């Protein structure tokens, strides 16, 4: 997936990863340094669980979330990094 705001070159790969029956998410990999996603604080191996309140419980939800980011003025991410939940909020200018 390419950057929705053009903030850096590169793409990101995601793979489905079920954390448990009630906590789906998508594991991130191939994040390049200095990419849009790296600047958001995402790292390889992190599991993204929610974008702007949208639970990522299937590939269709991932596509929906990234599509909505194109017009977003605020980005809120719920991720799990090293087993620790992390919330990140960004205002887009």
Does the global pTM surpass 0.85?
no
Architecture of domain 15-91: Roll (2.30)
pLDDT tens readout for residues 9-64: 456 666 656 666 666 788 888 888 888 778 778 888 888 899 999 988 887 888 89
* Sign of the alpha-carbon torsion through 26, 32, 36, 39: positive
Q: In 3-state terms, the chain is what percent helix, strand and coil (to 5)?
A: 15, 40, 45
Question: Could you tell me where the beta strands, DSSP code E, fall in the chain?
Answer: 13-18, 24-29, 47-51, 54-55, 74-81, 84-91
* Domains of the chain by residue range: 15-91
Terminal alpha carbon distance of the chain: 21
């Amino acid at each position: 997936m390419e950057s929705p705001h053009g903030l850096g070159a590169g793409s990101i790969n995601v793979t489905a990863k079920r954390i448990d029956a009630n906590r789906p998410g998508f594991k991130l990999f191939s994040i390049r340094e200095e990419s849009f996603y790296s600047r958001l604080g995402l790292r390889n191996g992190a599991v993204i669980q929610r974008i702007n309140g949208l639970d990522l419980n299937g590939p269709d939800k991932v596509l929906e979330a990234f599509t909505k980011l194109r017009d977003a003025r605020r980005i809120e991410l719920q991720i799990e990094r090293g087993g620790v939940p992390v919330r990140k909020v960004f205002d887009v200018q």
